[in-house]
Amino acid sequence: MTTAQPARSESPWKIGVYAVLAFAVMIGALSVPLLIRAYLFQPFNIPAGSMIPTLLVGDYLFVAKYAYAPGGVPARGDVVVFLTPKDNATAYIKRVVGLPGDRIQMKDGLLHINGTPVMRERVADFSGEDACGSGGKAGTKRWRETLPNGISYETLDCLDNGFLDNTNVYTVPDGRIFVIGDNRDNSTDSRMPRDIGYVPMENIIGRAGMIFFSSDRGGDGGIRWGRIGKFVR
């Protein structure tokens, strides 16, 4: 016959240690995502078409908040998320084309930096998305633009002689940047002083990174599998 043994009771100090460890694990599980969001990466989604063809409506991406900290400065060609100077609350995403001291101007739809036209070449028309806000998905003029530092990307031209195709010269002040949307005729950006204008460095949230999800909101709502994992350039 086997005699049952009384259950051993844990000492109070050991129970206390276990409780502290459990609490620490719980706090860590809750705080790590908050720390990552606060200092490393923050998710954003694209609700409008000002950055087509680089970014499409329905793209979800991570923004690297550490990219310009501490005291870092964006490079020409970086795609950045920032708070608009108008209210310091609304987040926009655009491409940096002007740094402090640069002179920026649009002439006949062509970007000029410090008096020199940026290199660009015509490529196949863009189609499949409503880039111009006309309700259709017909082909839109597309260009490959290359900045003086070698950064290359594609832009769209919805209108010949559009409202923003010819501008005054903008001289970027110290501590600020000049940003433009890749969808040149369908973007509210630094070319509109009353709406955006020059963006203070302190308003920059971070640099656009990887697309982690994409949904075709303007079509059948399906997942764009081919865009997941792409890095924004």
pLDDT in tens, 70-119: 888 999 999 999 999 999 999 999 999 999 999 999 999 999 999 999 99
Residue 179 within a domain: yes
Which residue, 56, 89, 32, 58, is CA-closest to 181? Answer: 56
CB 228, CB 215: distance < 8 Å: no
CA distance 230 to 61: 9
94 in catalytic set: yes
* Structural domain count of the chain: 1
**Residue 151 covered by a domain:** yes
Find the catalytic residue in 94, 141, 187, 214. Answer: 94
Q: Which two tokens stand for residue 218?
A: 């303007």
Beta-carbon contacts of residue 103 (< 8 Å; ≥ 6 apart): 112, 113, 114, 115, 169, 170, 171, 172
Q: 190 catalytic, yes or no?
A: no
Write the burial class of residue 48 (CB in 10 Å: 0-12 exposed, 13-18 middle, 19+ buried).
middle
We report the CATH number of the domain holding residue 87 as: 2.10.109.10
With a threshold of 0.75, does the pTM exceed it? yes
- Kindly state whether residue 5 falls inside one of the protein's structural domains: no
Is 3 domain-assigned? no
Residue 176 lies in a domain: yes
pLDDT at 71: 84
Q: Band the pLDDT of 161: cuts 50, 70, 90.
A: confident
What residue numbers bound the domain in which 18 lies?
12-227
Active-site option among 11, 14, 31, 50: 50
Residue 71 lies in a domain: yes
Classify residue 2: in a domain, yes or no.
Answer: no
- pLDDT of 46: 96
Burial 109-134 (b: 16+ CB within 10 A, else e): bbbbbeeeebebeeeeebeebbbbee
For residue range 175-207, what is the model confidence (pLDDT) as tens digits? 999 999 999 999 999 999 999 999 999 999 999
| 232, part of any domain | no
Mean pLDDT check: name the lowest of 3-17, 123-137, 216-230.
3-17
**Above pLDDT 90, what percent of the chain?**
70
